[in-house]
């Protein structure tokens, strides 16, 4: 089976139809399951938000401690 270049494939599909924004190219077939899952659901961002919440909580505790010591 002959492989086709990604850009050539996308341009050929654009010529055929108006579905170019709904096309997801999967280059490596070993990651097929995760690629399909990510295309359906998207990238999970909850880990990033939990990490940011912890960082901001630590910053808030530090600021509260510093401001409390300055008031005394």
What pTM was estimated for this model as a whole?
0.47
- Return the domain boundaries, the chain: 1-41, 43-72
What is the predicted pLDDT for the residue at 58? 97
pLDDT tens digits for the chain (72 residues)? 677 777 787 777 777 766 556 666 677 777 788 878 777 777 788 899 999 999 999 999 999 999 888 877
12, 17, 18, 23: CA torsion to nearest 10? -60
What is the predicted pLDDT for the residue at 57? 97
The DSSP letter of residue 51 is H
What is the predicted pLDDT for the residue at 32? 81
What is the predicted pLDDT for the residue at 17? 66
């Amino acid at each position: 089976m002959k492989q086709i270049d990604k850009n050539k494939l996308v341009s050929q599909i654009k010529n055929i139809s108006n579905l170019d924004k709904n096309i997801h190219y999967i280059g490596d077939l070993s990651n097929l399951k995760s690629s399909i899952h990510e295309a359906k659901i998207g990238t999970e961002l909850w880990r990033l938000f939990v990490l940011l919440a912890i960082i901001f909580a630590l910053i808030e505790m530090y600021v509260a401690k510093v401001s409390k010591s300055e008031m005394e």
